[in-house]
Every structure is written in structure tokens, then in C-alpha cells.
Structure 1
Amino acid sequence: MRSATTLAALRRATAAAPLAQNHRLCQASPFSSCYSSSSSSADSNWLLRRVYNHFRSDASISSAGTVFFSVAAASSLIQDAHAKEPVQSYKFKDVVLYQYEACPFCNKVKAFLDYYDIPYKVVEVNPISKNEIKWSDYKKVPILTVDGEQLVNSSDIIDTLFKRMQSEVSKDSTFDADEEKKWLGWVDGHLVHVLSPNIYRSASEALESFDYITSHGNFSFMERATAKYAGAVAMYFVAKRLKKKYNITDERAALYEAAETWVDALKGRDFLGGSKPNLADLAVFGVLRPIRYLRSGKDMVENTRIGDWYSRMEKAVGESARVTA
């Protein structure tokens, strides 16, 4: 009864919002399922294409979560076997990430930058006006500028940076490049698709997600008020369409299965990369980080074996490498 009442309230809130505004809100939603299976795929506008195709609906997932540790804890991590790997010889002098705080693909990039301790500045993009990226022909996020060079698409950004640093990045002796590639594809081709149906599974969960989104994103006061309710109801129905599109019958079961699939892939190792995280570890962690403390993420950790790996990743990635502008 409570869920029905909440949903009715959401519908009333949305009735007053223009359809075009709802489309923009769906596009802005950080937790809506984005898909990027190839370097040419759009990271953050996957939803917009579906919003205009079906409902037209879909969205771009978002993930954001910064793990805070004390200075003492951070210092001890340097000595830990799972410590992050600072880049020493290849110097990136000016790195700027244009992002939505809750976007999973943006968080995938941040997990990489944080783990390798690459200092970066952040420009939060208003998901409705996008004024902050009007200078770019690429109208999506993430965009990363490295010493003035523009890099786009989360997978391409990470691949480009990693190749430039490869000579100084150590790999565990058990490292398997084909295995890493397989699971990187699994993140963009499967894992992201089970997130939206879970995050927006019910009216209350949709509101919880948009409360997080609007409190972290670059919204004006009026945009926040509109986005919380109009965006939540829009994404509630988008999630239902995604559930049907990807043949998901039970949202939580699909999320739990994905988490267990990942744990099985570890084959008893601390990380897929062996004693240290590889790019697939960082991608899974980045995509899951924003939902970790939402209801769906809590349920996932409580009902699967992924919690231990996630905790190891939190320690390995450590504090954010973000610096103030």
C-alpha cells in the first residue's frame, strides 16, 4: 500500500513536468543503465537515445563514491601488498575530468585515476544545460583532458592512459590479458544492464536514488526539486522497460547472479589481476561504487560473496587522487 501511494505521488509530481524536461531528466540520471560495448559507444547518452526511441527512454548510469580514510590508515596502505600504484616517471601535468558525480562510467575512470594516484581536477557538468562541455564537440561524459588533449569514452580513456604508463605498471605473474579483456567486456555488456532495474525497482528505491543524484549533481535549486520527483518517476518506468528488454524476470536475482559470477571469476584470488587489481577489477569496482550504499547495493553485499572483494578494492584504490582546481 505504501509503495502504491508513493508511486501515485510520483505520478502526480510528474504530471506537471513538460515531456521535454522529463527527457532531459532521464538523460541526466546517473544511475540509468548506460551501455558502452565499443570505443565508439556513447558512455552517458545511451539513455537519451532510448528515451527518444521507446518512451523514449533509457539513461546513463552513474556511479560515484569516495572512500575516506584517516591519514594514518592511508600511510599504512603504502606498505600494504594491495596498495595503489603511483605513476612515477610518466608525468601527467594537467588532468581534468568532466563528469556527472553519479555516472558509473565517470566513476570507472575515477577508480583508475585514484588507484594509480594520478592527480585530477573535476568539473561537474550540469546534466540539463551541459554548459561546462559546450566547448567540446563530444556532448557526453566522461571527457578527460590530459595536458590539453581531449579523451572521450571511458574505455578509450583508460586504455589510452594505461598504454602511456605501461612500462611502469607492475603486473602479477598470474596476469592474463585475455581474461582481463573478457571481463572488461562483461562489465559494459552485462553488468551495467542489471543496475537500473534494481536501483529503480520500486517507487521508494527510485526516490532514494534521485535523492542521492540531486544531492551530488550540479543542479540548481529548481532543477533539484523537479529532478527528484519527475526524474524518479520517469526512471521507474524506464527501468521496467529495461527489465523487459534484457529479459530480467527478477531484478535482485539478476544482480546477485552478476555478483556471484564475478566472484567465481576470481577463482580464489584476491583480485582478477592476482595480488593486485587489474583494469577489470577497477571497472567492476567503479561501476558498483555509487550503488554500494543504496538499498540495492546493501542487499547485494548481504546476499552474495562480493563483499570481501569489494572491501579489498576499497583499500587498494584508497583515497581519491582528486585535487582542487
Structure 2
Amino acid sequence: MLNYNGISYDVVEVNSITRDEIKWSKYKKVPILVAQGVGEEGYVQLNDSTVIMSVLESYLNDKTVSLQKLLTFYPTMDKEIKGRFRSKTVTETPNKNFLMFQDHLTDKRTPEERAEERRIRVWVDTVFVHLISPNVYRTMSESLDTFQWFSKAGDWETNFTSFQRNTIIYIGGFVMYFVGKKLKRKYNLQKDVRESLYEGGNAWVNFLKGRKFVGGDQPNLADLSMYGMLTAMEGTEAFRDLVDNTKLKPWYDRTKTMVEGHQGANRARDVTRK
């Protein structure tokens, strides 16, 4: 979303084992975005990719409302999830897929179009996302290859020492192989998890209904959310198998062109991001 809207930003790669880079934050997951709106004093911390996208989209549609104010419209709540052996508390933002508008403003879409965008964003967040880990960590070899891809995409050779980089790759790859197996059982994926991945890819193609994008002629937040998921696995064997066995690639290539060309930049000049 930041690239599509031409918003300049700096990336801080986080060591997935030590997480030293986010010790300052009470929120311990990634991504975290620290941003400042035009004319605003100080920065706001936005957590969770879906919340980040909704807050930024709301701001880009109406910059008279500050990022600080918009964030108050997305309250969080703690929810207890009971597991087989123990319970855990997770923090959720119930309305995170909604955009915030003042009464006199509109994004010129119909209520049905907005509802479709929300529905598909929820699907990406609650269905497709769970297909990724079991596939990119399907075998030990794939798991290590996936971390090698993360290293290349995140420029770990520059951001970490050789010891840190190798530790993340080999310990991370080993651990995530078993996590992938656990998630396969948890989400009841097919014996060959690739088949579940292909089902997800075909579902996305069906969402398009012959359109260039879910958003029509331009990507909307559903398109950008799905694209973001896929770019995270672009250099993996699972991604190559996905585009070879579904009709997803034409949409992916179109979206990549739009994102890398900053085609949403005309409305996004007043946001800075860290």
C-alpha cells in the first residue's frame, strides 16, 4: 500500500529470534508502522497490517482528520482463546476492515462495493493467510530456501552480521518447518497442502469476476492486501507452483505494475512514514 500510494518510508528489518529492534514497543508483532500526518506534531504507532491499511486509506480520503484522531476510531479489545492445554489472550480490533468517513465525504463507491472490499479483505486475513506457512515451510528444504529468500528480500547481509543471518535462517527454518505442520492440522488443510493453496488461488480469481482488479480499473485494499501476502512468498517454490497451477499470474503482474509504478500517488503526498 505504501508503494502503491508513493509514500516514502524506511524499513527496519527485525531479527525474528531476538526481536531487539522492537524492544521499545509493547506490541511485539510485525509490521509496525510509525507515521506522521501533514501538520501533525509527533508520530503515531500503527499496529497490524489491516489496521495500518484502513487508517491510511481513511486518511488519504480526508486529510483534515489527523492520524491520531483516526486511530481512536479503531479501539482494541482483549479476547481469550481457549486451547487444548491452556488459554491465551489476544488483542483484536473488531472494526479493522472498515474505513472512516465524515458525513459530507465519500470515496465515490457504492455501499455494495465497499462491502465487497471488506468481505474479501477478511477472507485474505482469515483464510488465505493460513495457507502460506504450511506451504512455504512444507519440507525442511523448502523451509530453509524460504528463509534464504527472506534474507535476499530483506537484505539481511547488510542489516545483520553473518552470525545473526545464519542463526535466523537455520534456527528459523528448523522451527518454522514444525510450525507449518502444526498449522496444517489446525486449519485442516489437505494432505498435500499445495492443493489447498491452489484452491485459495482459484478463489481469488473467482473474486475478480473477469475484472482487472477487485477494485475495477484500479486496485483497492483487497487487491493490495492479497498482493502483499503474495510478495512475501514471491521467491519461494510454493509461489512458483501457485502461479503455474492457477490463473493468478495475470492479475499479480498487473498489480505489481500498478504498485511499482506508484499509481495511487496523486493523493498521498502528505504522509511521512518510518
Q: Report the counterpart of residue 257 of structure 2 in structure 1.
A: 315
Contact kept? 1:133, 1:139, Cα under 8 Å? yes
Contact kept? 1:180, 1:279, Cα under 8 Å? yes
For residue 255 of structure 1, give the secondary structure of its aligned residue in structure 2: helix
Partner of residue 237 from structure 2, selected from 275, 280, 295:
295
User: Deviations for 1:205-261, whole angstroms, at most 9, x for unmatched residues?
Assistant: 112112122343443321222332232222112111111111112211111110000
- The letter of the residue matching 1:262 is W
Contact kept? 2:214, 2:222, Cα under 8 Å? yes
Instruction: Please say if 1:228 is aligned against 2:123.
Output: no
Task: Give structure 1 stretches of 5+ with no counterpart.
Answer: 1-111
Please say which of residues 170-179 and 232-241 is displaced more in the overlay.
Answer: 170-179
Between the aligned partners of 1:155 and 1:311, the Cα distance in structure 2 is 23
Between the aligned partners of 2:113 and 2:209, the Cα distance in structure 1 is 13
Q: Report the counterpart of residue 48 of structure 1 in structure 2.
A: none
- The letter of the residue matching 1:288 is L
Partner of residue 207 from structure 2, selected from 255, 259, 265:
265
Report the identity percentage. 43
Between the aligned partners of 1:184 and 1:130, the Cα distance in structure 2 is 28
- The letter of the residue matching 2:150 is I
Q: Report the counterpart of residue 53 of structure 2 in structure 1.
A: 158
Q: Report the counterpart of residue 189 of structure 1 in structure 2.
A: 126
Between the aligned partners of 2:193 and 2:212, the Cα distance in structure 1 is 27
Partner of residue 136 from structure 1, selected from 22, 25, 42:
25
RMSD: 2.5
Between the aligned partners of 1:283 and 1:324, the Cα distance in structure 2 is 19
Q: Report the counterpart of residue 66 of structure 2 in structure 1.
A: none
Between the aligned partners of 1:231 and 1:202, the Cα distance in structure 2 is 13
Q: Which has the higher helix share?
A: 1
Contact kept? 2:35, 2:44, Cα under 8 Å? yes
User: Deviations for 1:78-136, whole angstroms, at most 9, x for unmatched residues?
Assistant: xxxxxxxxxxxxxxxxxxxxxxxxxxxxxxxxxx1111111112222233333332222
5 Å-filtered alignment, 1:198-277, equals: 198-215=135-152, 216=154, 217=156, 218-249=159-190, 250-277=192-219
TM-score for the superposition, normalised by structure 1: 0.60
Instruction: Please say if 1:122 is aligned against 2:59.
Output: no
For residue 141 of structure 1, give the secondary structure of its aligned residue in structure 2: coil
Between the aligned partners of 1:154 and 1:280, the Cα distance in structure 2 is 12
- The letter of the residue matching 1:234 is V
Corresponding residue pairs, total: 213
CA shift at 1:171, angstroms? 5.5
Partner of residue 285 from structure 1, selected from 222, 227, 231:
227
Task: Give structure 2 stretches of 5+ with no counterpart.
Answer: 37-42, 64-105, 266-271
Contact kept? 1:194, 1:255, Cα under 8 Å? yes
Please say which of residues 248-257 and 226-235 is displaced more in the overlay.
Answer: 226-235
Q: Report the counterpart of residue 35 of structure 1 in structure 2.
A: none
Contact kept? 2:10, 2:273, Cα under 8 Å? yes
